[in-house]
């Protein structure tokens, strides 16, 4: 009898520890996820961006941002505490490979759901819908949309839907310069090496709000695409996709989704949109 009681106490302590660690979080004060039925615990390797303020940012040994909060919450619902997460850098060009070779179990890195990508990986979600737009220097008055970039240099990142959109719609009209990371593009913009940067509005808002760039860069124009962010999962792991979708539904329903966005990108003035419906990827 005492052995059973000790096991129950140990299980309860583990659950409290997981919830506490998830709540401590990384920027957004997320709520307490209810453990999913059959939550297996263990550990997870999770891919995130390391250079996107407000979304996925590595500073020393600390990881912050909306994607980090979302991943931490989902992991807790799966029974995995924050100290059992190994964070893996997921640059845009590497995301499918990380899942295919097992370097990451899940990828949360502003990962837009597309039909082409769905041939290589599976997606849970969406958990956010962003819109592609432009970032320019503060005093730039001539750029307001891709159409106004004729003959000028635009920066984006290799392997992204943002870069593909420009190639498909403005080939020969815009000089596109590609870098491995958006932080490289933003640095080039600040140094006047390029005329604008294009990607999702929420990513650009995060950069514009940092002390390094605040008051120096600004977003322009209306969003010209819809980018549905999903959680990348290795192809064929439908059970994990289902569990992640259930966790994302909790995340939105209990208010943690909105709280994290308010804490991470709200200070930039970014208007928090309505949440999407997970499970419709």
Summarised one tens digit per residue, pLDDT across range 185-218 is 999 999 999 999 999 999 999 999 899 998 999 9
Which of 166, 186, 165 minimizes the C-alpha distance to 176?
166
Q: Which of 220, 238, 258 is the last residue of a domain?
A: 220
CA–CA distance, 26 with 85 (Å, rounded to integer): 13
pLDDT higher than 60, residue 39: yes
Binned at pLDDT 50, 70 and 90, residue 12 comes out as very low
pLDDT at 38: 79
Do 114 and 20 share a domain, yes or no?
Answer: yes
> Does a structural domain hold residue 275?
no
pLDDT higher than 90, residue 10: no
CA–CA distance, 15 with 5 (Å, rounded to integer): 15
Do 36 and 108 share a domain, yes or no?
Answer: yes
Binned at pLDDT 50, 70 and 90, residue 101 comes out as very high
pLDDT higher than 50, residue 14: no
The larger pLDDT score, comparing residue 58 to residue 40, is at 58
Do 82 and 211 share a domain, yes or no?
Answer: no
pLDDT at 80: 96
Binned at pLDDT 50, 70 and 90, residue 40 comes out as confident
In SS3 terms, 230-255 reads as EEEEECCCHHHHHHHHHHHHHHHHCC
Q: For residue range 48-69, what is the model confidence (pLDDT) as tens digits?
A: 999 999 999 999 999 999 999 9
Do 171 and 42 share a domain, yes or no?
Answer: no
CA–CA distance, 132 with 198 (Å, rounded to integer): 7
* Mean pLDDT of the chain, nearest integer: 89
Two structure tokens written together for 40: 């297996």
Which of 247, 245, 228, 229 minimizes the C-alpha distance to 237?
245
What is the percentage of the chain residues whose pLDDT exceeds 70?
89
Give, as one character, the DSSP assignment of residue 108.
Answer: E
pLDDT higher than 60, residue 6: no
Q: What is the CATH number of the domain that holds 83?
A: 3.40.190.10
Region at 84 (left for phi over 0; alpha for psi -120 to 50; beta for the rest): alpha
Q: For residue range 74-88, what is the model confidence (pLDDT) as tens digits?
A: 999 999 999 999 999
Binned at pLDDT 50, 70 and 90, residue 269 comes out as confident
Do 24 and 45 share a domain, yes or no?
Answer: yes
Do 110 and 195 share a domain, yes or no?
Answer: no
Handedness of CA 75, 79, 82, 84 (dihedral sign): negative
CA–CA distance, 119 with 166 (Å, rounded to integer): 22
Do 181 and 232 share a domain, yes or no?
Answer: no
CA–CA distance, 259 with 62 (Å, rounded to integer): 20
Give, as one character, the DSSP assignment of residue 159.
Answer: T
End-to-end CA, the chain:
47
244 contacts 127 by C-beta, under 8 angstroms: no
pLDDT higher than 50, residue 3: no
State if pTM tops 0.75: yes
Give how many domains the chain has, as a whole number: 2
The larger pLDDT score, comparing residue 35 to residue 260, is at 260
pLDDT higher than 50, residue 98: yes
Q: Where are the alpha helices (DSSP H) in the chain?
A: 2-24, 66-77, 95-100, 115-118, 161-170, 182-190, 201-208, 238-253, 256-264
Binned at pLDDT 50, 70 and 90, residue 15 comes out as very low
Q: Domain residues for 147? A: 132-220
Tell me the residue length of the chain.
281
241 contacts 121 by C-beta, under 8 angstroms: no
Binned at pLDDT 50, 70 and 90, residue 29 comes out as low
Helices (H) and strands (E) in the chain, counts: 9, 13
């Amino acid at each position: 009898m005492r052995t059973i009681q000790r096991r129950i106490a140990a299980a309860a302590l583990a659950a409290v520890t997981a919830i506490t660690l998830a709540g401590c979080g990384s920027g957004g004060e997320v709520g307490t996820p209810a453990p999913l039925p059959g939550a297996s615990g263990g550990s997870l390797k999770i891919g995130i961006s390391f250079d996107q303020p407000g979304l996925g940012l590595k500073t020393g040994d600390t990881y912050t941002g909306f994607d980090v909060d979302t991943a931490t919450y989902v992991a807790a619902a799966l029974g995995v505490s924050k100290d059992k997460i190994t964070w893996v850098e997921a640059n845009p060009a590497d995301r499918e490979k990380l899942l295919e070779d097992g370097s990451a179990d899940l990828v949360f890195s502003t990962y837009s759901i597309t039909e082409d990508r769905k041939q290589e990986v599976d997606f849970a979600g969406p958990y956010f819908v962003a819109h592609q737009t432009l970032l320019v220097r503060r005093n730039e008055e001539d750029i307001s949309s891709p159409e106004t970039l004729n003959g000028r240099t635009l920066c984006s990142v290799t392997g992204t839907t943002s870069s593909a959109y420009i190639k498909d719609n403005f080939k020969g009209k815009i000089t596109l310069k590609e870098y491995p990371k958006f932080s490289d593009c933003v640095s080039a913009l600040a140094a006047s090496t390029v005329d604008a940067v294009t990607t999702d509005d929420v990513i650009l808002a995060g950069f514009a709000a940092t002390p390094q760039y605040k008051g120096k860069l600004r977003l322009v124009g209306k969003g010209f695409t819809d980018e549905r962010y999903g959680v990348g999962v290795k192809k064929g792991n439908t059970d994990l996709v289902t569990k992640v979708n259930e966790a994302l539904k909790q995340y939105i329903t209990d208010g943690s989704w909105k709280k994290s966005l308010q804490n991470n990108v709200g200070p930039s003035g970014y208007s928090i949109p309505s949440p999407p419906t997970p499970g419709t990827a």
